[in-house]
Amino acid sequence: MTTPSSPSLSAASAPRGGCPAHAADTPVPLSGPAFHTEPQALYRTMRHSYGPVVPVELPGGFPAWLVVGYRELHQVTSDGELFPRDVGLWNQWEHIPEDWPLLPMVGRPMPSIYFTAGAEHRRHAELVVPALEAADPFEIREHCEQLADRLVDGIAPRGTADLVADFAEPLPVLVLARLVGFPDAEGADIARVLKDLADGGPGAQEAYGRFGAHMRRLVAAKRAAPGDDVTSRMLADPEPFTDEEYALDLMAITAAGHLTTADWISNSLRLMLTEDQFADSLAGGRRSVGDAMNEVLWEESPTQILAGRWAVRDTQLGGRTIRAGDMLLLGLGAANTDPLIRQEAVSGGAGHHAANGSHLAFSHGEYRCPFPAQEIAETIARTAIEVILDRLPDLRLAVPAEELVRRPSAFLRGMNALPVRFAPVHTTGDLL
C-alpha cells in the first residue's frame, strides 16, 4: 500500500512540455474557487505546467491523477483491462476514514453496475440496459411535459423564479422516479436526498442511507405488485440477482441521471439567456435549443471530473509513471477543451460544435453512460427547455450574468441558482 504522500506523485515522473521543475512534485488540490469560476483557465494552466496527466490531491490529502488530455482520456476509457472501474484496487483504502465526504462519489466495492468491473459489470449492464431501453420514448416525453408543466404552473403567477431550485433540479428526478416506478409523492424527497449526496458535505453519508432505504422499499413493492416500469422489468429478468443488487443498480441509475441532467438544463438555459448567438431560442426558435445543449456538453459538461479508474499494474500514461492501485480521475470537462483535439476535430466560430458529437461528456468505452440513459437524459433536458420557453417566452435574467454563482464542486459544473423574471401568467391549475 502507498500512503497519501505516494512516491508515484514524485518528481520522478517529469511532466511534458518543458514546464517548471517544481510542478512535477506539487500536486494540485482539487478544491478552491478556480474550479467554480473559471475551470477551463485552470485546466489550461494544468496542461501547460504538467502535461496531459496531472498529479492532484483530493480533500484529506489523498493522491490521484487527473487526466486532462483528450487522447489520454480516450486511452484510459478504452482499456478496461488496464484501467477498470474497480474501486477495490485503490491503494489508499487503509488511509480513508469512514466519514470521508467523497466516499459516496468514489464508492466502495459493491455489486452494482457502477462499482463493478469486467464480467460482473457486464452482468449488471445486461440487466439494466434492456430495462432502460424498453422505456417508451413517447411516454418519457409525455412524463416530462406533464411534470414540467406542473412545475411551471407553480412559478408562472409569481413573475420571478430560480430556475435551478424551482425547475431544473426537481424535474429530472421526478421523471426518473416515475420511470423506475415510484409514486410522484416520493419524488420530492428523493430529489432532496440526491442533492445532499451530490454536494459531498457532512450530510452525504446520511443521505446515502436514506437513498438506499427508498430503493429497497421500491424493490419490495414491485416484487409484490409489478408494473410497467424499469424496476419491474429488472425483477422479471431471468438472471438471478439479490434484492440488494437491484436496489444498488436503481440507485446508480437515478443518481447518475439526476443532477447531471439538471445541470444540463440549467447550463443550457444560462447560455440562452446570456449569449447573443442563442437569443433566437427565446423567441421560439427550436434549432438553437439543440445547439445550446450540445455547446454545453463541449464547454460546460455537467460532469467535469468523474471518479474514476484504477490501474491494475504499473504503467505509463502521458509521460507519467502510474503505479498499481493509483486512482485516475477522468477530466471530461478538461479533455473536451484540449486544444490538440479541438484543432483536429472542430473548426469555425460560434456554435461550431453543433454537428460534432465526439465530446466525452458521457465518458467513453465499456463504462460510459449507457446509450439508453443518454437518450433519456437528452429527452428530459430538451423537453424541459422547450416547455419553459413555450410557457414563459419573455424569460430574462434577474441579475447581471457576472453575479451568477456556480455550485462549489470540482466534479460537477452547475449553477447554484438561476434567478429570472418574466410576465406573470395565471394558470388554470395543476395539469396532472
pLDDT in tens, 285-302: 555 788 889 999 988 889
Go through 236-262 and write b for each residue having 16 or more CB atoms within 10 A of its CB, e for each that does not. Answer: eeeeebeeebbbbbbbbbbbbbbbbbb
| CB of 145 closer than 8 Å to CB of 427 | no
* Whether the predicted pLDDT of 365 surpasses 70: yes
Residue 57 host element (H or E): strand 53-58
Mean local confidence (pLDDT), 406-432: 81
Return the DSSP state at 396: E
Per CATH, domain 7-421 is 2.60.120.10: no
Question: Is residue 133 pLDDT above 60, yes or no?
Answer: yes
Which residue did the predictor score with more confidence, 381 or 103? Answer: 381
Q: pTM for the complete prediction?
A: 0.87
Q: What pairing do the DSSP bridges indicate for beta strands 62-67 and 327-330?
A: parallel
Side chain identity, residue 89 = L
Q: What pLDDT does 382 receive?
A: 96
pLDDT band at 428; cut points 50, 70, 90: low
Cβ 325 vs Cβ 311: under 8 Å: yes
Cα torsion angle, 326, 204, 113, 216, sign: positive
**What's the CA gap between 381 and 297, in Å, rounded?**
12
- pLDDT given for residue 349 in this prediction: 43
- Tell me: cis bond preceding 318? Omega within 30 of 0 counts: no
Q: Once rounded to an integer, what is the mean pLDDT over residues 25-39?
A: 86
Give the single-character DSSP code of 121.
H
- Note whether 362 and 74 are within 8 A (CB): no
- How far, in Å, CA of 380 to CA of 167, rounded? 12
Whole-number average pLDDT of the chain: 85
Residue 343 is predicted with a pLDDT of 64
The lowest-confidence range among 191-195, 264-268, 313-317 is 191-195
Cell numbers representing residue 72 in the block: 489520454
DSSP string, 298-321: HHS-SBSSEEEEE-SS-EEETTEE
Are 246 and 231 within 8 A, CB to CB?
Answer: yes
